[in-house]
Structure 1
C-alpha cells in the first residue's frame, strides 16, 4: 500500500476496490458457460502449474513457518485439480435445472462481489479455491488474507489476474486488499459486498456474521477417529499416519484423537508405531501440555512443526526425534485436559475405549468439548457402526476407513466435493452443513408455470388426526 492508501479511511480504500470489482463483474456477467469455464480453468492453471505451486509453497513456509514445502505443493495442486474437475462438470449459467412435474425451471445468476477471508495455514490454495468457485458463478472476488500469509496470497492473486488478462477478461475480477490488512479494512470490505466467505479464525467468522452481509463461515476442527476390533489395523494406522503428518497437521481435518477399542488397543498402538509414531511415556504428558500451550493458547512456535522439533521441545528421548508423529495417552476430556482439543501439530491423543459403545461415547464427549459439527471417522469393517455414528452424532461428516485429511475436503475416492472450507452446521453456528461449493456463489431465479392441480382432500391430510383425536 502506498502512503496515500495507508492514510486513507478504510471505507475509501474498500470503495475503490469494490467499484473496480463491480465494473469487472458487469463485463464478465453476461458470459456463457463456455467462457465461464475458460476463466475457471485459467485461474486453476495459474496455481496448478508446478513452478507456481512450488514458489507459493516456499514463500508460505518462509513467511508463516507453518507446514512444509513438499506437502504444500501437493495440497495446492491436488485441491486445485479436484476443484476444477468438480466445477467443469456442472452448469452455473442460464438454465441449470428443470422439473417438468413441478413446472419449475431454475436459472443461475451471479451474486455480484464476494469477499473472501483466508487463513495463514493455506495462504495460496484457499484464495485460488474460493476464486474458482466465485468465478464459476460469474462473480468478482476480493481477498482479505491473513497478514502472516500476505505475500503468498498477493503473488497468487497476481498470477490469477494475469491469467484472466491472458484470456481477455478484466483483471479486477480478482483483487486483494492492500497492506496492511487491518480489522477496520476487512470490516469495511465485508459490509460493502454481497457475500462474505470466511475460512480462518472463529473471531473472523463471528465478525463476518455481524457485518450485515450474508456470510458463510466454517467451524473449528478437532477430529476424533475410532479404531474398532474389526479394523485392518495396519491399514488404519497407515491412513491415520498419512493424514496426521500431511503438511505437519495444518488441516482442520487432521486427526486430533484416536479412540481404540480395548480388545485391540495394544495391537493398534503397535500398528501406529510401525506407521511411524512414537508413544510418549505418561511422565511426558505434563511437559507436553506445558510446552504446547502457553497461557491457555497453542504455542505459535510449535504448531505445524516437524516432529523432531516437537520431540526436542518436549524433552523426549533422542529416538523420538526420528518419529513421524507423536502419540500421548489421555483419559480426560474438557478444558482442563488440553490434549482433548485441536492441536494443529504432530501430536495425536490416544483414548482406550471398553467397546464400540464406549468409543462412541468418548467421541461424542470430545466433539462436545471442541469440534462439534465438523467431522469424525471410524476404521471398521462393520458398516452398521458407521451408520450408527452418522445417525447419532452431531457432525456434518462421518468418514469410514479414510485418511481423514484426504477425504474430508474432497477426494478422488470420496464423493464429497473438493474444498478448503468445511461448514459445520448450526452446531458451530455456521450457515451451511456441507462443503463449500459453487452453489453457494449463485443466486437462483425460479420460473414457475401452472401444473395439474395437486390438492388432496381434507380426509387425506387430517384423517389420521381425526381418527385418533376426533374432529
Structure 2
C-alpha cells in the first residue's frame, strides 16, 4: 500500500472538504459500505465460538509485540503526539483488557433470560458500523471499536483523523490479514480511502447502520445530526481532589503516573488537582517528590502565553515530552528533570485557560479551604469544561467520595486511582475496558457508561404470559387520595 507522507495528507484535507465532487464522494463511500454489507451478511449467522475466534484474531493483530511497536512508532511519527513506549503499553493493555471483557460476554443467540418476567433476549447484529477515530489514538481506538463491532457480528468502516491516517491504515491492514488467516472476509474491517474529508465522513455517517464517534466534538455533533443512530463521547477535563485524609505520597505517585502516561493524550488524564488547605503544602511536596515541578508566577505567564495561541492550544506543544516543554516555556534549570509541571491557579472559565483541558504535561493546582470548597471548585471546573465525564478523589473518607457521586454531574467518580488507568477500564477497576467513554446528557451523549459490545447489538425480546401483575387502585392511588383527596 502506498501512503502519502503525513504533511502531504494534511495539506490535501486541511480545509476539511473533498477534492472530489459530492457524487464521486458518495459513490466511493457507497462502494466501501457495499463491500462491508456483503461481508457482514456472510458473518451474521456465525456461532458464538466463531465470533469469539474473530475477536481474538483482531486482538492479536495489535497485541502482537512487533505490531504494537510498529503502530506505536508510526503514530508518533505521523501525529507527533505522545511517546512510543506508552503507546505500546496502551495498545497491549487496552487490547488485552477489552479481549478479556468481550470473551466473558455473550452476543449470539440467547443472551439473557428473566423467567419471572417471562422475557428472553436474543442478540442480533446491527449491520455496518461507521467509526470515526481520533489522532490521539490512531491505532488503539480503531482496533478497540472493531473488536466490539465484530463481537456483535457486524462489519465496520473506519474514518480516521487525517493526521493519523497512515497509522490507522496499518492497523487495519493487520486486522484484515488476521481475518483472512482464520477464513473470514477481510471486508468486515475497512478504512475509508484517502483523503478522509468531512464530506466523505458525513457520507459514511449517512450510509451505515450505527455511527460511533471518538474525537472532536464537531464530529460528535455531526454524527447526531446525520439521521443515523449515533453514539458520541464527550470532552474530558478531569479534576482530582486530595483531601486531608489522603495518603499523600501514594496519591502523588498515582497522579504522576497517570498524568505523564503517553504525555497526557488521554481524555482521562488529570488536568487539575484541588488540594484542601490542611494538607496543601505537604501534598505539593509529595507531588514534587513524585516528579512534579512547581512553577513560579513568571513561569506561569510564559506557559499560558506559549501553550495557547489565539485562544487555542498550540499544536506544536501538546502531548510533547517534558524536556521539550521545559525549554519551550523557558523554565528554570530545576525544571529540566521534571516529569510534569504544576501551575497554581485560582480562576476558572474562558479567561483562565489553565482551568480547561490541556493535553500536555501541565497540571493546574487549586487550593481549597476544606472539602466543601474543593467540591465546589471541582463543580465549577466541570461546568466550564468536562461536565459529565469524570473526576477523582484521593481519600480515606468514603463519605467524601459518596458525596461527590451523589452531588456532581459526572458519569464516573474514581477513588484512589491513577485516573487514566481506571477510568477506561482497569484490572483493578470494575469499569469495562474501552477507549470511548460516554458522558450522558450532560454533554449531549446518548450513553452514560463506557462503550461496550452491548452497544453494537440489536435485541429481540421474546415475551410469554406470566401470572397477572395488576395492583389495586388503592395500592397505587392510596397515598395521593389520603393526602389530597379523591
User: What's the TM-score, normalizing by structure 2?
Assistant: 0.96
**Counterpart of 1:122?**
137
1:395 lines up with 2:439 in the alignment? no
1:202 lines up with 2:223 in the alignment? no
**Counterpart of 2:349?**
334
Q: How much has 1:319 moved relative to structure 2?
A: 2.3
1:250 lines up with 2:256 in the alignment? no
Given candidates 160, 163, 178, the residue that maps to 2:193 is 178
Secondary structure at the residue paired with 1:9?
helix
Secondary structure at the residue paired with 1:116?
strand
Given candidates 22, 26, 44, the residue that maps to 1:29 is 44
1:360 lines up with 2:388 in the alignment? no
Given candidates 146, 156, 159, the residue that maps to 2:171 is 156
Given candidates 191, 203, 211, the residue that maps to 2:226 is 211
Residues 267-305 of structure 1: CA deviation (Å, up to 9, x unaligned): 000000000000000222211111000010000000000
Q: How much has 1:315 moved relative to structure 2?
A: 1.0
Given candidates 165, 178, 182, the residue that maps to 2:180 is 165
Q: Is the 8 A contact 1:195 1:214 kept in 2?
A: yes
Residues 134-158 of structure 1: CA deviation (Å, up to 9, x unaligned): 0000000000000000000000001
**Counterpart of 2:329?**
314
Q: How much has 1:6 moved relative to structure 2?
A: 6.1
Q: Is the 8 A contact 1:120 1:148 kept in 2?
A: yes
Given candidates 233, 258, 261, the residue that maps to 2:276 is 261
Inter-partner Cα distance in structure 2 for 1:303 and 1:378? 25
**Counterpart of 1:440?**
455
Tell me the matched-pair count. Answer: 469
RMSD, matched Cα: 1.1
Inter-partner Cα distance in structure 1 for 2:338 and 2:302? 18
Given candidates 58, 64, 82, the residue that maps to 1:49 is 64
**Counterpart of 2:313?**
298
| Superposition pairs of residues 379-390 of structure 1, within 5 angstroms | 379-390=394-405
Q: Is the 8 A contact 1:396 1:425 kept in 2?
A: yes
Deviation >3 Å, runs of 4+: 5-8
Q: Is the 8 A contact 1:309 1:321 kept in 2?
A: no
1:94 lines up with 2:106 in the alignment? no
**Counterpart of 1:61?**
76
Inter-partner Cα distance in structure 2 for 1:165 and 1:265? 57
Given candidates 443, 460, 474, the residue that maps to 1:428 is 443
Residues 347-385 of structure 1: CA deviation (Å, up to 9, x unaligned): 000000000000000000000000000000000000000
Q: Is the 8 A contact 1:302 1:345 kept in 2?
A: yes
**Counterpart of 2:12?**
none
**Counterpart of 2:291?**
276
Given candidates 19, 24, 32, the residue that maps to 1:9 is 24
Q: How much has 1:70 moved relative to structure 2?
A: 0.1
**Counterpart of 2:362?**
347
Residues 156-188 of structure 1: CA deviation (Å, up to 9, x unaligned): 001100100110100000000000000000000
Residues 237-271 of structure 1: CA deviation (Å, up to 9, x unaligned): 00000000000000000000000000100000000
Inter-partner Cα distance in structure 2 for 1:182 and 1:6? 10
**Counterpart of 2:9?**
none
Inter-partner Cα distance in structure 1 for 2:293 and 2:481? 66
Gap runs ≥5 in structure 2: 4-18
Residues 211-257 of structure 1: CA deviation (Å, up to 9, x unaligned): 11011000000000000010000000000000000000000000000
Secondary structure at the residue paired with 1:175?
strand
Given candidates 236, 253, 266, the residue that maps to 1:221 is 236
Q: Is the 8 A contact 1:40 1:132 kept in 2?
A: yes
Q: Is the 8 A contact 1:256 1:348 kept in 2?
A: yes
**Counterpart of 1:112?**
127
Residues 407-426 of structure 1: CA deviation (Å, up to 9, x unaligned): 00000000000000000000
Gap runs ≥5 in structure 1: none
Inter-partner Cα distance in structure 1 for 2:295 and 2:312? 22
Q: How much has 1:318 moved relative to structure 2?
A: 2.1
Inter-partner Cα distance in structure 2 for 1:362 and 1:282? 21
